[in-house]
Amino acid sequence: MTANSPPRPTLAPVIFILVLGALLPFLLQSGFHMRLAMLIWIYAILSMGFNLLYGYTGQISLGQPAFYAIGAYGFAMLQVKLGWGPVPSFIGTLVVCAVVAVLIGLPLLRLRTHYLAMATLAFMLIQHGIANRWIGFTGGQSGIAIVPLQWGGETIGRTGLYFVVLGMAAAVLLLHDFLVRSHVGRAMQAIRDDETAAAALGVHVVKYKLRILVLSAVIAGVAGVCFTLTSLRVDPSLSEFHVLVSMLTIVVVGGLGTRFGPILGSVVVVLLPQVLTGFGELETIVYGAFILVFLLFLPHGLSSLIERRDFLAAFKARKPAGTGKEAAE
């Protein structure tokens, strides 16, 4: 009889987060607060995709905002230009994201990390250029407007829209959580930590990288669709560096490669500027200082406070440990 294996992580925290999310509309009074809540979920979706790709698989792709924009534009354009309904437009948009990700991923995955970062950044700039300059196609600076979502002939109100966004976020959260706790998540982390050792154990490294790149692109597309659903228009501002910086801040503040980092990080990144408006012109500086202080004291992100093992490790890491060094030799 062998010893019992350690307890497995449960779904409980996921359910807790979703219940909290479902209660929010009854707790928040103003429409402004509801908009912030939806924005948190949208950023959380985007960042979960990035977390799978970078946090868990170690692939630095900066193309996520571009897929976010393709999701947002695609959803609007399929409705406005082709007259498709919202559901076919949603599906069609995700298919476009997946196909573009495959086309980019095939050659890129042979390149080393920094080239992947640069090439995906270039892809983002190209996408941005198209959105801005190809006015006949994308509406240029003024963008494209869509009609609000309907249900049974009636426009869905703010609360209904919130639940649509929450539903998308729930689906992505469940997917994210399932993957990272499964053999797929183990393979992803193995690739991140040591590609050669992963391959020697039978992990098809290139195939996994491509799969996760495509999946994260589709998830970014879902976030983009949610953006269009809530703002009712798309314009080039959504693909600007702002989205990229927010996404990077979220995963770092929340904790890279952690189960709930993207959600915790999104709460901070969306709400912090609201709290800081009192600082007026100094807001940006205070915001930056806050993030810096945060990174100094919580280098493993907010998740490290919640995911016990990380928390303990963070403390142990402060003690001078000899054993780790020998192993790294």
Residue 76 found at the interface with other proteins (CB under 8 A): no
The residue range among 36-44, 98-106, 173-181, 237-245 that interacts with other proteins, by the rule CB under 8 A, is: 173-181
Single residue of 101, 165, 169, 187 touching other proteins by CB under 8 A: 187
User: x-or-dash pattern for other proteins, window 242-271, by CB under 8 A?
Assistant: ---------------x--------------
Q: Which among 78, 92, 226 is positioned nearest to 138, based on CA atoms? A: 78
Helix or strand or coil: residue 294? helix
Find all residues with CB under 8 Å of 80, minimum gap 6, and list them: 144, 145, 146
Single residue of 33, 35, 192, 233 touching other proteins by CB under 8 A: 192
The residue range among 3-11, 91-99, 103-111, 230-238 that interacts with other proteins, by the rule CB under 8 A, is: 3-11
Residue 320 found at the interface with other proteins (CB under 8 A): no
Residue 2 found at the interface with other proteins (CB under 8 A): yes
Q: Tell whether the torsion through CA atoms of 150, 155, 160 and 163 is positive or negative.
A: positive
Q: What is the DSSP-derived secondary structure letter of residue 150?
A: E
CB of 77 to other proteins, least distance (A): 28
Angle at 263 between CA 8 and CA 73, to 5 degrees: 125
Nearer to other proteins, 136 or 320 (CB): 320
CB of 6 to other proteins, least distance (A): 4
Helix 158-181 and helix 205-231, axial crossing angle in degrees, nearest 10: 170
CB of 26 to other proteins, least distance (A): 32
Q: CB–CB of 259/13 below 8 Å?
A: yes
Q: What is the DSSP-derived secondary structure letter of residue 319?
A: S
Count of CB atoms situated within 10 Å of the CB of 222: 27
For other proteins, the binding residues in 123-162 under the rule CB under 8 A are none
CB of 154 to other proteins, least distance (A): 34
Helix or strand or coil: residue 307? coil
Q: CB–CB of 70/100 below 8 Å?
A: yes
Interface residues with other proteins (CB under 8 A) are: 2-6, 8, 175, 178-179, 182-184, 186-187, 189-190, 192-194, 196-205, 207, 211, 215, 257, 309, 313, 316-317, 321, 323-324, 326-327, 329
